Structure 1
Amino acid sequence: MLRHLLKLTWKRKSRHLMLSLEILLAFAVVFGIAAFALRYMQLYREPAGFDGTDVWSVAIVTGDSKASAIPADVYDTLRRNLKALPEVREVGFVSYSPYTNSTWMNAYRSPQTGAEVATNILEASDDVAAALAIPVVRGRWFSATDEGAPVVPAVMNRRLAAAMFPGQEALGREFTDKDSKRTIKVVGIVDEFRHRSPLMVPVNFIMTRFAPLAGESRVRTIVLKVAPGTPRGFEASLNRQLKLVRNDWSYTIAPLATMRASQMKELLIPLAVLGVIAAFMLAMVAFGLFGVLWQNTARRIPEIGLRRAIGARAADIYRQIVAEQLLLSSVAIVLGLVLLVQLPLTGALGQMMNWPVFLGAAGLSMVVIYLLSLLCSLYPGWRASRLSPAEALHHE
């Protein structure tokens, strides 16, 4: 049966060429959407490296004043005033808040290994680990005991540790920035820190200690751990308390949960748009496929009549029409897989197209295309199977 179907498909190759290309294009589009969705699911399940539950962000807007003009003692005043609020549990200062598009990059060099690695940086105060519930897997978070140390204490993720000190233990090692202006010491290791969104691709990340009394750096973001169930109306009380410290500044206040939802919406809208476009394209492919199958079945009425006359059953005709379409779809799918498998083999898209994503997207795309082909061939196959031999043989 299969050999017979292959012969029929080959003899009608010129007629099936455009249809095969249409199925191939539909397969590629479905594969692309499925790959994006699966990669997003894969990233969503990976640990973020912190917990933003019941955490609020406060961005300090100093107006025309530069950040460097902020007095060092203001941070301690802010901490004490904010902790006076009954809803506040922890107060920390960072160079930028999670769930924003802010990024600070720098290159660091290890004198022991000679490695020079670019990484994302976040300056954070001693209380940030408690405010964001950052789990340190080895070593410790920096603290007041590091005040006055000749080196800058830092906590880095495993990815950066492996790149900076390949095959070696990073904990306790020292390295410098690219210009050798600062010596930094690794005091702790975390698994990950994906600050932008739950769909952020893991990157090199390092967090250095923010000490306003020991350096010239001035950060302008506060992270607050608040009591569970704190209502949004707390924003007014928080703003009043901040104004007591510096009335000439303004403050942008938002819960991290709200910022996270906004980031997710921004990232998922393009995927939703692509999904709608793909749905319209599949609908057009379905209509075209149905029309071609109907036309091909009408052209083959004499052939169908002859088969019925020599003893073929209606079910045999039905199965032949459906099987031919599934075979044609299989040819297009195999060709598509041969082309698309080059992506994980060559690593052209990096981790975006790893093997689990490729295999999952290929499987989903095959199911969609086979289901579409089956649905489009059911009615033409049923109509062909209902033809009587006499009617089919007298057809002109």
Structure 2
Amino acid sequence: MFRHLLKLIWKRKSRNLMLSLEILLAFVIVFAVTCFAVRNYQLYQLPIGFDHRDVWTADIKADNEHGAGGIDAAVYDQLKRGLEALPEVENVGFVGFSPFTRSTMRTEFNLPGNGRRVSADMSEISDDAFALSGIKIVEGRAFSAEDEGAPGIPVVINRSMAELLFPGVSAVGKQFTDSEAETRDKRMLKVVGVVDEYRNQGELMNPVNFILMRFSPLSSKDSVWTIMLKVKPGTGRAFEAKLSERLKSIRNDWSYEISPLDALRASMLKSALGPLIAMAVVAVFMLVMVAFGLFGVLWQNTTQRIPEIGLRRALGASAGHIYRQIIAEQLLLSSVAMLAALLLLVQLPITGAFGDSLGWDVFLLAAALSMAVIYLISLLCSIYPGWRAARLSPTEALHYE
């Protein structure tokens, strides 16, 4: 039966070529959308390394932000004391930039002695911000007052960074630099703790190497310009006006951009999912066009094959057999088109062109889901033409002109 169907498809290869190309193109588009969706779903299931619930940020906007003055330690103390005096606020800390934003800092780090170099994202964070944002240390400890005045800059790194720099051994207590060994202004960094993961841009951010560097108002050379607050559960957006008023009472010459992390997270997810939604709309439109074209071609094919169908009925083929043949032919044609597409697409995970974003797990799941969609469309489009062909009586078919 299978060989017979292949012969029938091959004899009508000129008619089936354009249809096969249309199915192939539809499969590729569905595959692309499915890969994007599967990868985003995978990322969404991974931990981000911090807790966004009941956490607010206030970004300081000052004219001298990039100037030499920065912020004095006394001003940080005023901000902390003044904000913690609010009944809604439980704790206050300072960070280099707010989570769930596009802000990022990236540089290369070096391990003295063997020249190993690792690129990583980084951010500065104060001692209080660890507990405030729910960052969990899995090895070592978080920053504390005992780090004040200690040689080297205390850092907390994520597990992927620790495994790259110090494979097979504990990273706690180890040191590395953030510049080439021969550079005079290099900084020595000392690992005091390790976290499983830290993805500052949220659930849809690809895992990266990350370093949290200790910020101290007393000893850090550079200032940070984002205040992070832990508020009591149930604190509403009305608190924003009260918080702004308190900040203005401390430094009236600055402006402040205040946001709950929940709102920043929702905005980040919306912007990250925008391309997926756009691709899905294009894919649905394409599938509708393919479905209409496929239905029309199958209708025309069954009409042209009425004498053939009548002869088969006259030779004893049942209506059910004719019905199954029409459907099987279309499913086989779809299989051939998708197989050709897969032979091209399989080069992507083999070559690693998209890295972890298109590994074998994503590829296989996306391919299976895409094939299921194309098979479903092919089945739906072939049901009525197959039913119509099966209803022909041998007498009608043999007298067809």
TM-score (norm: length of structure 2)? 0.97
Structure 1 residue 67: deviation in Å? Answer: 5.5
Which of 224, 228, 232 matches 1:223? 228
SS in 2 for 1:170: coil
Corresponding residue for 2:13?
13
Corresponding residue for 1:81?
82
Corresponding residue for 2:324?
319
2:315 partner amino acid: I
Q: Does 1:281 align with 2:282?
A: no
Q: Does 1:362 align with 2:367?
A: yes
Which of 233, 241, 250 matches 1:236? 241
Corresponding residue for 1:132?
133
**Separation (CA, whole Å) in 2 of partners of 1:228 and 1:330:** 55
**Separation (CA, whole Å) in 2 of partners of 1:113 and 1:189:** 22
2:142 partner amino acid: W
Corresponding residue for 1:164?
165
Check conservation: 1:44, 1:198, Cα contact below 8 A. Answer: yes
**Separation (CA, whole Å) in 1 of partners of 2:364 and 2:174:** 40
Corresponding residue for 2:307?
302
Instruction: Report the number of matched residues.
Output: 396
Identity across matched positions, percent:
60
**Separation (CA, whole Å) in 2 of partners of 1:66 and 1:47:** 34
**Separation (CA, whole Å) in 1 of partners of 2:220 and 2:136:** 26
Structure 1 residue 361: deviation in Å? Answer: 0.5
Q: Does 1:291 align with 2:296?
A: yes
Q: Does 1:55 align with 2:79?
A: no
**Separation (CA, whole Å) in 1 of partners of 2:102 and 2:253:** 26
Deviates further, 108-117 or 184-193: 108-117
Corresponding residue for 1:107?
108
Corresponding residue for 1:268?
273
**Separation (CA, whole Å) in 2 of partners of 1:112 and 1:52:** 39
**Separation (CA, whole Å) in 2 of partners of 1:315 and 1:240:** 78
Deviates further, 151-160 or 107-116: 107-116
1:289 partner amino acid: L
SS in 2 for 1:52: coil
Structure 1 residue 212: deviation in Å? Answer: 2.2
Corresponding residue for 1:44?
44
1:133-148 to 2 correspondences below 5 Å: 133-148=134-149
Q: Does 1:207 align with 2:212?
A: yes
1:367-386 to 2 correspondences below 5 Å: 367-386=372-391
**Separation (CA, whole Å) in 2 of partners of 1:305 and 1:165:** 75
**Separation (CA, whole Å) in 1 of partners of 2:40 and 2:145:** 39
Corresponding residue for 2:250?
245
Structure 1 residue 214: deviation in Å? Answer: 1.1
SS in 1 for 2:137: coil
Check conservation: 1:157, 1:206, Cα contact below 8 A. Answer: yes
Distance 1:20 1:32, change over 3 A: same
**Separation (CA, whole Å) in 1 of partners of 2:77 and 2:49:** 27
Deviation per CA, 1:87-145: give whole Å up to 9, x if none. 11111101100000001112211114321112111111000101110011000011111
**Separation (CA, whole Å) in 2 of partners of 1:121 and 1:298:** 67
Structure 1 residue 68: deviation in Å? Answer: 4.2
Deviation per CA, 1:267-306: give whole Å up to 9, x if none. 1111111101100000000011011111111110100111
**Separation (CA, whole Å) in 2 of partners of 1:333 and 1:125:** 54
Distance 1:384 1:312, change over 3 A: same
Q: Does 1:345 align with 2:350?
A: yes
Deviation per CA, 1:309-333: give whole Å up to 9, x if none. 1111111111111110011011111
Structure 1 residue 168: deviation in Å? Answer: 3.0
SS in 2 for 1:312: coil
Structure 1 residue 342: deviation in Å? Answer: 1.5
2:260 partner amino acid: P
SS in 2 for 1:262: helix
Deviation per CA, 1:180-220: give whole Å up to 9, x if none. 52111000000111011210000110011111221321000
Corresponding residue for 1:27?
27
Check conservation: 1:147, 1:214, Cα contact below 8 A. Answer: yes
Gaps of 5+ in 1: none
SS in 2 for 1:116: strand
Check conservation: 1:62, 1:250, Cα contact below 8 A. Answer: yes
Distance 1:65 1:353, change over 3 A: closer
Root-mean-square deviation (CA, aligned residues, Å) is: 1.2
**Separation (CA, whole Å) in 1 of partners of 2:265 and 2:85:** 27
**Separation (CA, whole Å) in 2 of partners of 1:64 and 1:169:** 41
Deviation per CA, 1:216-246: give whole Å up to 9, x if none. 2100001101100101101111111111211
**Separation (CA, whole Å) in 2 of partners of 1:386 and 1:196:** 60
**Separation (CA, whole Å) in 1 of partners of 2:115 and 2:63:** 42
1:101 partner amino acid: R
**Separation (CA, whole Å) in 2 of partners of 1:87 and 1:147:** 30
TM-score (norm: length of structure 1)? 0.98
Check conservation: 1:113, 1:165, Cα contact below 8 A. Answer: no
Check conservation: 1:67, 1:220, Cα contact below 8 A. Answer: no
Corresponding residue for 2:201?
196
SS in 1 for 2:397: helix
**Separation (CA, whole Å) in 2 of partners of 1:65 and 1:315:** 78
SS in 2 for 1:137: strand
**Separation (CA, whole Å) in 1 of partners of 2:33 and 2:217:** 48
